[in-house]
């Protein structure tokens, strides 16, 4: 700053000198060349001063931006200190450990909770701390416990362990925001897009499973044994002979807020309570629905363009999946609404403001179905899931299929192992 001021003064002095010189030159032509030289020097100095001034201004702006960014961090540090102080005497941890002692098989969530508490009470290097996080990671299945997996990975990393933290665990847009503040130029915007594309391609993420190559369905069993050893796995190639049954299935879906997420494996719509599937009078609550491309189920050996799986749970915890096949044809208005609002890149759930959606819009009028006892079609491939695949497909436009961000997210068909396929 001081230097800049000196340079500005120097510039003014030189300009003054040159003006004086120029007046003088009018009276005395002999001083001409010297004056020109002085003028050039003055201009040069003025330019330098301007550049330095700009640099100082930019530095000041950067400092202000940094200070702004630091403010919330400072309060976070304070909060953390408060939590640490509250747990300092270890009584809370001892209490929790005593309460959990009876339970031999702690859930992943409890393991993570213990890990966090141990880290804050005993420190990151305590073997018990590491053990809790490791255990949580071992027993978490990716499908519905991403948050727990993230917590365990971040916990281990904080304890100095070498672990790969999945990209989906990192705070969203943390880096992007910074880039925008300091420069906000096109180059940064391109960088951002590149990052989003990377994520979609999964190159930088470390997913537990996928649909191709090293993470593909043939390898799921390594980490999720039921996927390989289960005897009633889904999906199936649906072909006769069928067993005639008398099950009555009706769907009573309600319009609600549109909550969507791209979980890196599919586009999923989470459904508010109130929508139900009734199987012989037993109510199953619709939890979510999601898409596969092509359809996971094959009909007489052939897949359709896509399938929607509506996932339900009854009061006893039993799962039921209603599958609606999508065949190439006219545009599907329901899917148009969904695709317009879907998150293209992987991330947490977003609630689409001002848009209501009724899942019933994706159902055909006819409710004839094939039904069989199967499993989740994604890890951990848990069995005991009742499937109802509607015989009547609904339309989806070729362009709409192409717009779906996952080119292939269908598990291959599994061995039937003597299971009956019932039709109504």
Q: Can you give the binding site for Zn ion, defined by CB under 5 A?
A: 309, 377
DSSP 417: T
Smallest gap, in angstroms, from Cβ of residue 321 to Zn ion? 7
- Distances in Å between the Cα of 335 and the Cα atoms of 139, 251, 276, 363 are 35, 19, 20, 11
Q: Considering the complex, what minimum distance in angstroms separates the CB of residue 212 from Zn ion?
A: 17
Q: Is the peptide bond before 294 cis (omega within 30 degrees of 0)?
A: yes
CB 319 within 8 A of CB 312: yes
Residues 396 and 295: beta-carbon distance below 8 Å: no
Distance CA 360, CA 340 (A): 18
DSSP state of 218: G
Give the residue with the Cβ less far from Zn ion, 293 or 309.
309
Q: How far is the CB of 221 from Zn ion (least distance, A)?
A: 18
- The least CB distance from residue 412 to Zn ion, in Å, is 13
Give the integer Cα–Cα distance in Å for 162 and 167. Answer: 15
How far is 132 from 110, CA to CA, in rounded Å? 9
Nearest to Zn ion of 153, 377 (CB atom): 377
What minimum distance in Å lies between the beta carbon of 379 and Zn ion?
12
- Cα 356 to Cα 90, 162, 170, 312, 385: the distances in Å are 48, 44, 30, 20, 29
* Least distance in angstroms from the C-beta of 290 to Zn ion: 6
Q: Which of 193, 204, 208, 265 is catalytic?
A: 265
Distance CA 251, CA 183 (A): 52
For 316-340, give the DSSP string.
T--EEEEEEEEEESS--HHHHHHHH
State which residue, 140 or 377, has the beta carbon closest to Zn ion: 377
Report the length, in residues, of the chain. 424
Select 298 or 309, whichever has its Cβ closest to Zn ion.
309
Q: Which residue is nearest to Zn ion (CB)?
A: 309
Instruction: Output 155 or 374, the one with its CB closest to Zn ion.
Output: 374
Is 204 assigned a catalytic role? Answer: no
The catalytic site residues sit at 265
């Amino acid at each position: 700053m001081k230097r800049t001021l000196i340079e500005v003064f120097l510039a003014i002095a030189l300009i003054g000198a040159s003006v004086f010189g120029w007046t003088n030159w009018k009276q005395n032509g002999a001083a001409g060349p010297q004056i020109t030289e002085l003028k050039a020097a003055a201009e040069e100095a003025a330019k330098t001063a301007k550049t330095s001034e700009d640099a100082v201004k930019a530095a000041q702006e950067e400092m202000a931006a940094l200070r702004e960014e630091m403010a919330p961090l400072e309060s976070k540090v304070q909060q953390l200190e408060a939590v640490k102080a509250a747990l300092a005497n270890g009584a809370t941890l001892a209490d929790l450990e005593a309460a959990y002692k009876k339970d031999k098989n702690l859930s992943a969530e409890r393991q993570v909770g213990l890990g966090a508490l141990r880290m804050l009470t005993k420190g990151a290097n305590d073997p018990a701390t590491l053990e809790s996080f490791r255990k949580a990671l071992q027993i978490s299945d990716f499908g519905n416990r991403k948050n727990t997996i993230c917590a365990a990975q971040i916990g281990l990393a904080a304890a100095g362990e070498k672990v790969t933290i999945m990209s989906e665990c990192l705070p969203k847009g943390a880096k992007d925001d910074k880039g925008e503040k300091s420069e906000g130029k096109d180059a940064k915007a391109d960088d951002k897009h590149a990052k989003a594309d990377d994520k979609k391609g999964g190159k930088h993420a470390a997913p537990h499973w996928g649909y191709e190559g090293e993470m593909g369905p043939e390898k799921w069993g390594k980490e999720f044994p039921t996927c390989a050893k289960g005897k009633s796995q889904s999906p199936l190639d649906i072909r006769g002979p069928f067993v005639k049954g008398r099950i009555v299935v009706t769907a009573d879906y309600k319009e609600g807020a549109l909550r969507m997420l791209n979980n890196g494996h599919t586009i999923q719509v989470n459904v508010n309570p109130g929508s139900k599937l009734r199987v012989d009078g037993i109510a199953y609550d619709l939890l979510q629905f999601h898409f596969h491309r092509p359809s996971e189920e094959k009909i007489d050996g052939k897949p359709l363009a896509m399938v929607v799986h509506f996932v339900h749970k009854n009061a006893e915890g039993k799962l039921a999946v209603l599958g609606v096949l999508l065949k190439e044809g006219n545009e599907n208005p329901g899917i148009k609404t969904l695709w317009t609002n879907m998150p293209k890149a992987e991330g947490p759930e977003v609630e689409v403001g001002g848009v209501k959606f009724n899942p019933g819009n994706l159902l055909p009028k006819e409710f004839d179905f094939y039904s069989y006892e199967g499993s989740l079609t994604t890890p951990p491939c848990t069995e005991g899931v009742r499937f109802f695949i509607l015989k009547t497909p609904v339309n989806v436009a070729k362009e709409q299929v192409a717009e779906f961000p996952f080119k292939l997210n269908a598990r291959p068909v599994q061995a039937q192992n003597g299971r009956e396929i019932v039709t109504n």
